[in-house]
Structure 1
Amino acid sequence: MTSFLTRRLSRVALVGSAAVAAMMLSACGNGLASGGGEKSDDGPIVLGMLTPLSGSSSAIGPYMKNAAQLAVDEINAKGGVNGRKLELKVEDEACDAKSATAGANKLVTAGVKISVGGYCSGATLPTLPIFEKAGVPMLIPAANSNELVAQHKKNVFLINGTGAQQSDAALKFMKKVGATKVALMDDNTSYSKDIADTTAKLLTGSPALAGRESVTAGESDYGANVNAILKGQPDFIYWTGYYQEGGLIIRQLRQAGYKGNVMVADGSVDQKLVDIAGPEAAEGVFATMTQTPETIQGAEKWIADYKSKFGADPGPYSTQAYDAVRVAAEAVGKAGSTDGDAVIKALEGIDGFQLFSGPLKFTPEHTLSSGGFQILVVENGKIVLKDTLQ
Structure 2
Amino acid sequence: MRIKRHSTVLITIAAAVLLTTSGCSGGLLGGGESEGESAGPIKLAMVIPISGSSAPTGKYMENGAQLAINEINEDGGILDGRELELVVGDEACDPQQGVASANKAVSAGAVVSVGGYCSGATLPQLPIFEKAGIPMIIPAANSQDLVNQKLKNVFMINGTGKQQSTAALDFIKKQGFTTVALVDDNTSYSKDINVETAKQIEEDGSATVALSTSVTAGESDYSAVVRDIMNANPELVYWTGYYQEGGLIINQLKKAGFAGQIMVADGSVDPSLSEIAGAGAEGVYATMTQTPDTIEGAEDWIANYEEEFGSAPGPYSTQSYDAVRLAAEAIEQAGSTDGDKIIDALEAIDGFTMFSGPLKFTPEHTLSSGGFVILKIQDGTFVLEDDLS
Structure 2 length-normalised TM:
0.91
Match of 2:153 among 152, 155, 163: 155
Match of 1:102 among 88, 96, 100: 100
The letter of the residue matching 1:225 is V
Map of 1:32 onto structure 2? 27
**Offset, 1:41:** 2.4
Match of 2:127 among 126, 129, 133: 129
Secondary structure of the residue aligned to 2:99 is: helix
Deviations 1:193-241 (A, max 9, x none): 0000000101222211101120000001101111012221101000000
Separation in 2, partners of 1:322, 1:198: 29
Separation in 2, partners of 1:115, 1:291: 22
- Structure 2 unmatched runs, 5+: 1-23
Separation in 2, partners of 1:338, 1:238: 43
Deviates further, 53-62 or 165-174:
53-62
Secondary structure of the residue aligned to 2:216 is: coil
Separation in 1, partners of 2:239, 2:57: 19
Map of 1:338 onto structure 2? 337
**Offset, 1:356:** 0.4
Separation in 1, partners of 2:136, 2:32: 17
Map of 2:11 onto structure 1? none
Secondary structure of the residue aligned to 1:167 is: helix
* Native 8 Å contact 1:235 1:260 kept in 2: yes
**Offset, 1:31:** 5.1
**Offset, 1:32:** 2.2
**Offset, 1:376:** 0.1
* Native 8 Å contact 1:161 1:373 kept in 2: yes
Map of 2:7 onto structure 1? none
Map of 2:269 onto structure 1? 269
1:87 equivalenced with 2:85 (yes/no): yes
**Offset, 1:89:** 0.6
* Native 8 Å contact 1:35 1:135 kept in 2: no
Separation in 2, partners of 1:116, 1:35: 19
1:65 equivalenced with 2:62 (yes/no): yes
The letter of the residue matching 2:112 is I
* Native 8 Å contact 1:213 1:229 kept in 2: no
The letter of the residue matching 1:255 is K
Deviations 1:255-303 (A, max 9, x none): 111111100000000010000000x200100000001000111100110
Separation in 2, partners of 1:43, 1:381: 46
Secondary structure of the residue aligned to 1:253 is: helix
Separation in 1, partners of 2:113, 2:267: 21
* Native 8 Å contact 1:238 1:265 kept in 2: yes
**Offset, 1:34:** 8.3
**Offset, 1:178:** 0.9
1:165 equivalenced with 2:163 (yes/no): yes
Deviations 1:310-344 (A, max 9, x none): 01100000000000000000000100001000000
- Supply the RMSD in Å over aligned alpha carbons: 1.1
Please say which structure displays the higher CA radius of gyration: 1
Match of 1:180 among 169, 178, 186: 178
**Offset, 1:30:** 7.5
The letter of the residue matching 2:68 is A
The letter of the residue matching 2:165 is S
1:248 equivalenced with 2:248 (yes/no): yes
Map of 1:41 onto structure 2? 38
Relative to 1, partners in 2 of residues 1:32 and 1:378: Cα closer, same or farther, differing over 3 Å?
A: same
**Offset, 1:35:** 7.0
Where do residues 209-288 of structure 1 align in structure 2 (5 Å cutoff)?
209-278=209-278, 280-288=279-287
Separation in 1, partners of 2:106, 2:296: 37
Separation in 2, partners of 1:109, 1:349: 28
Secondary structure of the residue aligned to 2:117 is: coil
Map of 1:8 onto structure 2? none
Map of 1:143 onto structure 2? 141
- Count the aligned residue pairs: 361
Separation in 1, partners of 2:232, 2:329: 51
Separation in 2, partners of 1:142, 1:35: 27
Relative to 1, partners in 2 of residues 1:156 and 1:46: Cα closer, same or farther, differing over 3 Å?
A: same
Secondary structure of the residue aligned to 2:93 is: coil
* Native 8 Å contact 1:353 1:360 kept in 2: yes
Separation in 2, partners of 1:267, 1:243: 6
Map of 1:21 onto structure 2? none
Separation in 2, partners of 1:56, 1:194: 21
Calculate percent identity across the aligned residue pairs: 65
* Native 8 Å contact 2:95 2:121 kept in 1: yes
**Offset, 1:62:** 0.6
Separation in 2, partners of 1:202, 1:74: 42
Deviates further, 34-43 or 315-324:
34-43
Relative to 1, partners in 2 of residues 1:253 and 1:328: Cα closer, same or farther, differing over 3 Å?
A: same
The letter of the residue matching 2:95 is A
Map of 1:56 onto structure 2? 53
Map of 2:359 onto structure 1? 360
* Native 8 Å contact 1:35 1:113 kept in 2: no
The letter of the residue matching 1:206 is S
Deviations 1:13-68 (A, max 9, x none): xxxxxxxxxxxxxxxx8752387154422211100001111112111011000110
Separation in 1, partners of 2:379, 2:201: 31
